[in-house]
Amino acid sequence: MSQLQPLLEVRNLEVHYKRRRSRQTLKATDGVSFEILPGTTLGLVGESGSGKSTIAKAILGMTPVHSGVIKLSGKDITNLDRRARRPLSRNLQVVFQDPNSSLNPYLTVGRTLAEPLQAQGEERGEKLRQRVAEALERVGLPHEAANRYPAQFSGGQRQRIAIARALMLHPELVICDEAVSALDLSVQAQILNLLLELQKGQGLSYLFISHDIAVVRFITERVVVLYQGQVMETGLTAAVTENPAHPYTRELVNSAPLPDPQAQRQRRAEEEKVRAASPKARAEVSGPTGQGCPFAGRCPYVREVCRATRPPLVKTENGGLTACHRYPEWKSSANPG
């Protein structure tokens, strides 16, 4: 039996930005690697500034890559120019966070959905209108919506339109960049369920980017945890979120609110115990991390080696990888008596 080939491969990706005033170079992503198999969903999760959206922009050709390789269906797309990237739209699409900025307010929904087909020289006339109507139906909107403008819809409906547009050319991979973060909880659930239904019906693959680990846990099979452009942990989503191997992952999981107020208070109390366990060690390595672990300045389990040397990715007990000098030692001190 042949091994399934990755649809998307990202290897040792580095994206650099130059600061205008100081003329210093900032590594927005630093050696990030992952892959997505056909029909699966990979999550990128981390705080603002962790490099999630930069990775999406690099894949989409919206920002230059300093080093590393990006392959789509086995083809190197790392440094393609705009003209060479144009055919990729058939296989690669994106849904952004804010549909208000991604949908043209002066075009009807029908014209918005027709644009990708027209740009590729596909159907016109009645066939085009039928394709638009079918796309709207797939995302749960009536075909009459084609004659209305984006401002006439709610935020959740506009995101459905954005999803419909992304699927007009039947791509294999869709990048969802914070696609539900601007929506309220009930609408979030509807959009997430829609994405799952579309994936099942069309065999889609998703790169799902979010700062909310609870959302990532719901929709993804595998996850990459990022902090300041570096991979802290990666593996099966269920294993990573239920038994974190990196202190930063644990912090993300514990930041998600619990429905039980008593359980929430107990969790906070346990976190305070942990953070009080080694204040001296934290003070010794606070500040810029240099060549060491970028999380060292916040980590309650930090030691001098964490600041001095960047931790390599090592295998974890749950089959994933983590970049932590103190794994699995730190886990034994995570619940001080």
Contact 294, 309 (CB under 8 A): no
Nearest to 335 by CA among 285, 293, 258, 275: 275
Gap between the Cα atoms of 212 and 178, Å rounded: 9
**Which residue would you say has higher pLDDT here, 52 or 268?**
52
**Which residue would you say has higher pLDDT here, 290 or 130?**
130
Question: What is the per-residue pLDDT across 196-220, written as a single tens digit (0 to 9) for each?
Answer: 999 999 999 999 999 999 999 999 9
Q: What is the DSSP letter of 195?
A: H
Gap between the Cα atoms of 139 and 161, Å rounded: 7
Percentage, residues of the chain above pLDDT 90? 72
Q: What is the pLDDT of residue 144?
A: 94
Q: What is the pLDDT of residue 148?
A: 96
Summarize the confidence of residues 94-109 as an average pLDDT: 90
Element (H, E) at 226: strand 222-227
DSSP states of 238-265 as a string?
Answer: HHHHHS-SSHHHHHHHHHSPPS-HHHHH
Contact 326, 301 (CB under 8 A): yes
How many C-beta neighbours within 10 Å does residue 325 have?
22
Gap between the Cα atoms of 269 and 248, Å rounded: 18
Summarize the confidence of residues 263-270 as an average pLDDT: 58
Question: What is the per-residue pLDDT across 149-165, written as a single tens digit (0 to 9) for each?
Answer: 999 999 999 999 999 99
Q: In whole numbers, what is the pLDDT of the chain averaged over residues?
A: 88
Query: How open is the CA angle 226-227-232, to the nearest 5 degrees?
Result: 60
Percentage, residues of the chain above pLDDT 70? 87
What contacts 56, CB < 8 A, 6 or more positions away?
44, 94, 175, 177, 207, 209
Domains of the chain: 8-91+171-239 (3.40.50.300), 108-164 (no CATH), 245-332 (no CATH)
Contact 280, 303 (CB under 8 A): no
Q: What is the pLDDT of residue 283?
A: 36
Q: What is the pLDDT of residue 281?
A: 39
Q: What is the pLDDT of residue 259?
A: 57
Confidence grade of residue 169 (pLDDT, cut at 50, 70, 90): very high
Contact 249, 50 (CB under 8 A): no
Phi and psi (nearest 5°) for 74?
Answer: 85, -5
Nearest to 299 by CA among 318, 265, 316, 322: 322
Q: What pairing do the DSSP bridges indicate for beta strands 173-177 and 205-210?
A: parallel
Q: What is the pLDDT of residue 289?
A: 41
Confidence grade of residue 271 (pLDDT, cut at 50, 70, 90): low
Q: Evaluate if residue 10 carries a pLDDT over 50.
A: yes
Tokens of 305: 């080696």
* Residue 31 falls in which region: left (phi positive, over 0), alpha (psi -120 to 50) or beta: left
Q: Evaluate if residue 277 carries a pLDDT over 60.
A: no
Nearest to 194 by CA among 268, 134, 137: 137
Q: What is the pLDDT of residue 285?
A: 36
Tokens of 321: 């990888």
Phi and psi (nearest 5°) for 135?
Answer: -65, -40
Gap between the Cα atoms of 115 and 80, Å rounded: 23
DSSP states of 151-219 as a string?
Answer: GGS-HHHHHHHHHHHHTTT--SEEEEESTTTTS-HHHHHHHHHHHHHHHHHHT-EEEEEES-HHHHHHH
